[in-house]
Structure 1
Amino acid sequence: MTDLLFTRLTHGLLLASAVCLASPAMAATPAQFDSALAQFQQARAGHEAAIGKSAEAFEALLKAEPLNPVLMAYAGATTTMKATTTWLPWSKMSYAEDGLALLDKALTLLTPAHNAPQQHDVPATLEVRFVAANTFLAVPGFMNRGARGAKLLEEILASPLLGVAPLEFRGNVWLTAAQLASKENRPQDARKYLDEVIKANAPQAEAARTQLKAIAS
């Protein structure tokens, strides 16, 4: 049962495009970050080999910028995803707990200074919360992170910063909110968020239309 729950983790991480908060020295270059992010996107698409590569890439970037909450959040998410790559129960728990601890720490590092748009024009405070929310919502229920993941998602939706974030990021947030609402049997809320995607003509509009049809049926 635990194996099946952890297997869902990789496919449950529906994350938006990332930002990188630059530090004065040894900051990750856009190319380095984009390379790590590309591996992450392959990992969440189901390519198991990319999980380890993504984790290694973000760990290396985090070593250069140990107080960068965005890098720490992605390092935490990829470490948590490594729980899906092993059959050993103790290794699964170790990866999951280590990854969640990094996400917790990344959230505590957020300050008003992280409200400004950074790389990819997404405010770091939203990016970190979204990475954490998706991971918390994806891990098995016995880890008791679902409620916190839902709360983080609510904070993102209520933040005035969401209105200045890139449309692709907003679309991902709305889609995730719709999926959670559907899972919690809140079809009216799900339709509301899907309508936001379509009304804004976000890149996810076609996916939103498909989900609306599923709700209607």
Structure 2
Amino acid sequence: MPRSLLRLARRLPLTFALSVSLSASLAAQALPEPATQTAIGHFMAATQGSSDATQASLEQFQALLKAEPGHPLLMSYAGAATTLKARDAWAPWKKMSYAEDGLAQIDKALTLLDPAHDQALYQGTAVSLQTRFVAANTFLGLPDMFNRGPRGRQLLDEIQASPLFGKAPAGFQGAVLMRAARQASQAKQGERARSLYQQIIERQLPQATEAQAALKDAK
């Protein structure tokens, strides 16, 4: 590996910002609930820093993909879990390999989305929206050197602009708006961040208390 790439690899952070609302949607086909929910639970634990949970979630999503090959949401989760292994790896070349492999999976998942995934719902949310949200969170959680921030922001905008968004459960809508607000705050877009937090509060979404606290600190 070139030295310049090694230097970049060492800059991978210890954590990725993958605050995904994972209880809202899955499946163009019916997915096995116990196995799927277990994989989601491990993935959530992985985003909080558990390397054991990272490996468990990756293996579980890979197993689910064998049963449902080409399922975009399962593929996006598997890709996101793979990028988390970059966080946990010690060797710089391993970090880069995991990150690149995970991103390739997520990119493929996005290309697999079609109108059928707008219609397919799991617990009320379109599979297409959930797949994009997993991708957006992963992209926005990566270091700038991967140049995925603009695509992550674009995906968040696409989700909010979709006519399907207003039909999604309140928890999913709140999670998307919170992520968008935090991204706006990080980008020094205080007015936009405050507007998004205010939407959550006025619509009394489940994240309203969290948004109220964040609004006090938004600049």
The superposition leaves residues 128-179 of structure 1 with CA deviations (integer Å, 9 ceiling, x where unpaired) of 1100011011111111111111111111111111000011100000000000
CA displacement at 1:3 relative to structure 2: 4.2
Distance 1:117 1:163 in 2: 16
Match of 1:209 in 2: 212
Q: Is the 8 A contact 2:28 2:117 kept in 1?
A: no
Gap regions ≥5 residues in structure 1: none
The SS at the match of 2:206 is: coil
Asked if 1:109 corresponds to 2:112, the answer is yes
Q: How does 1:121-140 map to 2 (within 5 A)?
A: 121-140=124-143
Distance 1:6 1:123 in 2: 31
CA displacement at 1:181 relative to structure 2: 0.5
The SS at the match of 1:160 is: coil
Match of 1:46 in 2: 49
Asked if 1:19 corresponds to 2:4, the answer is no
Asked if 1:6 corresponds to 2:3, the answer is no
Distance 2:28 2:117 in 1: 10
Distance 2:184 2:10 in 1: 25
Match of 1:174 in 2: 177
Deviation above 6 Å: which 4+ runs of structure 1? Answer: none
The superposition leaves residues 64-87 of structure 1 with CA deviations (integer Å, 9 ceiling, x where unpaired) of 111110100100100111101111
Distance 1:22 1:148, change over 3 A: closer
The TM-score normalised by the length of structure 2 is 0.92
Distance 1:56 1:37, change over 3 A: same
CA displacement at 1:47 relative to structure 2: 2.1
CA displacement at 1:4 relative to structure 2: 5.1
Match of 1:55 in 2: 58
CA displacement at 1:6 relative to structure 2: 2.7
Distance 1:64 1:117 in 2: 18
Match of 2:86 in 1: 83
Q: Name the aligned partner's letter for residue 103 of structure 1.
A: I
Distance 1:50 1:36 in 2: 9
The SS at the match of 2:64 is: helix
Q: Is the 8 A contact 2:28 2:116 kept in 1?
A: no
Match of 1:163 in 2: 166
Q: Is the 8 A contact 2:15 2:47 kept in 1?
A: no
Q: Name the aligned partner's letter for residue 191 of structure 2.
A: Q
CA displacement at 1:204 relative to structure 2: 1.2
CA displacement at 1:97 relative to structure 2: 0.5
**More displaced stretch, 197-206 vs 51-60:** 197-206
Percent sequence identity over matched residues?
46
The superposition leaves residues 1-40 of structure 1 with CA deviations (integer Å, 9 ceiling, x where unpaired) of 744533131xx001012422143xxx53111111110111
Q: Name the aligned partner's letter for residue 136 of structure 2.
A: A
Match of 2:4 in 1: none
Distance 2:193 2:116 in 1: 32
CA displacement at 1:48 relative to structure 2: 2.3
RMSD of equivalent CA atoms: 1.4
Gap regions ≥5 residues in structure 2: 1-7
Distance 1:115 1:80 in 2: 26
**More displaced stretch, 101-110 vs 42-51:** 42-51
Structure number with the higher helix fraction is 1
Q: Is the 8 A contact 2:178 2:211 kept in 1?
A: yes
